[in-house]
Chains A and B, each alone.
Chain A
Amino acid sequence: MSKIVIPQDLWEGNDKEAVLVAWLLDDGDEVECGDAVAEVMVDKAQYEITAEADGVLKTLKAPDDEVRLGDVIAELV
Chain B
Amino acid sequence: MCGSGTSTQIAVSNGKSFRISVDFPCKTAQHGIATDQSLMQDVARSGVNCLRFWQVPDCLIVSKADSRLPAFDAAASQLAREGLPVEQRNSGGTAVAQLAGVLNISWIYQEHPDRAADISAAFHVSLDPLVAFLTTAGINATIGEVEGAYCRGKYDLAVDGRKVAGTAQRVANFQGKKVILSHLCLNVCADFRRADDAVNRFYRLAGGEVRVRPGSSSSLSLSSAKTTSVTSFIDEFTAYLTQAS
Measured CB to CB, the residues of A under 8 A from B are 9-13, 19, 21-22, 36, 39, 41-48, 50, 63-64
The reply to whether the CB of B214 lies closer than 8 angstroms to some CB of chain A is no
**Known pairs A21-B64, A22-B64, A63-B65; A43 contacts B119 (CB<8 A):** yes
| Chain A proximity mask over B93-125: 1 for CB below 8 Å, otherwise 0 | 100000000000000000000001111001100
Residues of B within 8 A of A11 (CB): 116-119
Question: Given known contacts A45-B117, A46-B170, A50-B173, what 11 new A-B pairs fall within 8 Å (CB)?
Answer: A10-B116, A22-B90, A39-B91, A41-B91, A44-B153, A44-B155, A44-B167, A46-B168, A46-B169, A47-B117, A47-B170
Measured CB to CB, the residues of B under 8 A from A are 63-65, 68, 90-93, 116-119, 122-123, 153-155, 167-173
Task: Identify which of A36, A44, A47 contacts B93 (C-beta below 8 A).
Answer: A44
Closest Cβ of chain A: how far from B72's Cβ, in Å? 14
Q: Once bound together, how far apart are the Cα atoms of A21 and B154, in whole Å?
A: 19
Looking across the interface, which residue of chain A has its beta carbon closest to that of B175? A34
Residues of B within 8 A of A50 (CB): 173
B92 touches A46 (CB 8 A): yes
A63 touches B64 (CB 8 A): yes
Q: Once bound together, how far apart are the Cα atoms of A60 and B153, in whole Å?
A: 28
| 23 CB < 8 A contacts A-B | A10-B116, A10-B117, A11-B117, A12-B119, A21-B64, A22-B64, A36-B173, A39-B91, A41-B92, A41-B93, A43-B119, A44-B92, A44-B154, A44-B167, A44-B168, A45-B123, A45-B170, A45-B171, A46-B91, A46-B170, A47-B117, A47-B171, A48-B172
Residues of A within 8 A of B154 (CB): 43-44
